[in-house]
């Protein structure tokens, strides 16, 4: 009967030294074995090492390895809100690209909290990841300066950050918003309400501005704008009702600045009995997996999110490899997916 297992400490992990001595050789040879320089080893030795590794269930410590080499082959991804399908698709794109490059992705969700963002930024940096892809909440002076200095390669997704010069991958917001607005106009809508979460983010600002500008081209039509917090459905309700009252005999439509908001708007409309595609037009940025299932369907502006993530990593790798080309701002085109919610009323 084996009572080998005493209540000792749970057996510390085997180190390269343990393997070496078990294989009756030096650490160097083991290291060589591990690093593909096997052609330098005699078959006999290889055998012994192999056995020793298996026996001890040895796993090299990446910590030690990276400490030595200075390279980690790790990429950090900071995501503002993992709840958002947009972010998830970005992540999948980054991930696929990483895999292809033999990099490993570490994902950090900031939950839209600035402090978390700072925390993770520091963490990743202190673990010496090779680079970071950031879908930022926003950044303040302190975070910026420390990041700017730490020469950590970095690329931003979707959101530009003021005073922070850095590659950015995003949507061509001007183009997309123009298309979206024009579509509504073409469909015969006469009063359009642009709904947004607080316009704190560059992206939203550009969309709003472009919307306003585009609307000016048909001065007889009415442009409105409203700001709501995602959780303030009462406020949203009021906004919608008010909009309806102000343009009782016009053909009305709403533009939602992003997917999360579109969901809330749809819920609210349903609650107060506004039927999209009939009482009011509805169009949202970001495609939604359920867009076709909701009533007559919801028209959306789909972003090539996956590709954007993929491209972001590509750009990052360039920087990691020391590219000195000037700051890039790559803007992807969106795709308007027309569904029932913007049919002529």
Partner DNA sequence: CTGTTAGCGCTTTCAG
Partner DNA sequence: CTGAAAGCGCTAACAG
Q: Which residues bind a copy of itself (CB under 8 A)?
A: 10-11, 13, 57, 59-64, 66-67, 72, 82-83, 88, 91-92, 95, 99, 104-109, 111, 116, 119-120, 122-123, 125-128, 146, 149-151, 263, 266-267, 270, 288-290, 292-295
In terms of C-beta density within 10 A (0-12 exposed, 13-18 middle, 19 or more buried), how is residue 85 classed? middle
Q: Which of residues 35-54 bind DNA (CB under 7 A)?
A: 35, 39-42, 44-45
**Contact partner, 327, from a copy of itself, DNA, none, Cβ < 5-8 Å per class:** none
Shortest gap between Cβ of 37 and DNA (angstroms)?
8
67 counts as binding DNA under rule CB under 7 A: yes
Residue closer to a copy of itself, measured from CB, 165 or 333: 165
Rounded to an integer, what distance in angstroms lies between the CA atom of residue 230 and that of residue 236?
9
Q: Give min distance, CB of 181 to a copy of itself, in A.
A: 25
Cβ contact 182:214 at 8 Å? yes
Picked from a copy of itself, DNA, none, the partner binding residue 31 (CB below 5 to 8 A depending on kind) is: DNA
Q: CA–CA distance from 91 to each of 78, 107, 135, 247, 253 (Å)?
A: 9, 8, 10, 42, 32
**234 binding DNA? (CB under 7 A):** no
Nearest to 256 by CA among 237, 278, 279, 228: 228
CB nearer to a copy of itself: pick between 122 and 172: 122
Give dist(CA 237, CA 243) in Å, integer.
10
The two three-digit tokens of residue 232, written as one number: 């303030």
Select the span of 20-28, 74-82, 250-258, 322-330 touching DNA (CB under 7 A).
Answer: 20-28
From a copy of itself, DNA, none, which one binds at residue 16 (CB under 5 to 8 Å depending on kind)? DNA
Residues near 175 by Cβ (< 8 Å), separated by ≥ 6? 331, 333, 334
């Amino acid at each position: 009967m084996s009572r080998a297992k005493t209540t000792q400490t749970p057996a510390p992990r085997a180190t390269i030294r343990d393997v070496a001595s078990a294989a009756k050789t030096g650490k160097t040879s083991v290291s060589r074995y591990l690093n593909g320089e096997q052609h330098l080893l005699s078959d006999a030795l290889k055998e012994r090492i192999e056995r020793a590794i298996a026996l001890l269930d040895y796993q090299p410590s990446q910590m030690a390895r990276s400490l030595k080499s200075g390279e980690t082959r790790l990429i950090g991804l900071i995501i503002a809100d993992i709840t958002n399908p947009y972010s998830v698709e970005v992540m999948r794109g980054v991930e696929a690209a990483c895999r292809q490059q033999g990099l490993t992705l570490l994902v950090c969700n900031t939950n839209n909290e600035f402090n978390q963002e700072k925390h993770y930024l520091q963490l990743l940096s202190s673990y010496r990841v090779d680079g970071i892809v950031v879908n930022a909440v926003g950044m303040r002076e302190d975070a910026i300066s420390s990041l700017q200095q730490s020469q950590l390669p970095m690329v931003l997704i979707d959101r530009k950050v003021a005073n922070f010069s850095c590659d950015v991958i995003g949507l061509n917001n001007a183009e997309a918003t123009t298309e979206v607005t024009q579509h509504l106009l073409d469909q015969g809508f006469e009063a359009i309400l642009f709904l947004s979460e607080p316009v704190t983010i560059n992206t939203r600002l550009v969309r709003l501005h472009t919307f306003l500008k585009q609307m000016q081209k048909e001065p007889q039509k009415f442009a409105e704008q409203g700001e709501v917090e995602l959780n303030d459905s009462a406020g949203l309700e009021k906004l919608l009702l008010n909009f309806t009252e102000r343009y009782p005999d016009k053909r009305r439509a709403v533009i939602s600045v992003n997917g999360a908001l579109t969901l809330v708007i749809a819920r609210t409309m349903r609650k107060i009995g506004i039927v999209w595609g009939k009482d009011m037009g509805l169009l949202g940025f970001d495609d939604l997996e359920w867009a076709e299932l909701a009533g007559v369907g919801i028209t959306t502006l789909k972003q090539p999110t996956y590709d954007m993530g993929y491209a972001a990593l590509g750009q990052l790798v360039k920087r990691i490899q020391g590219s000195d080309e000037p700051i890039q701002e790559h803007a992807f085109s969106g795709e308007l997916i027309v569904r029932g919610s913007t049919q002529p009323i």
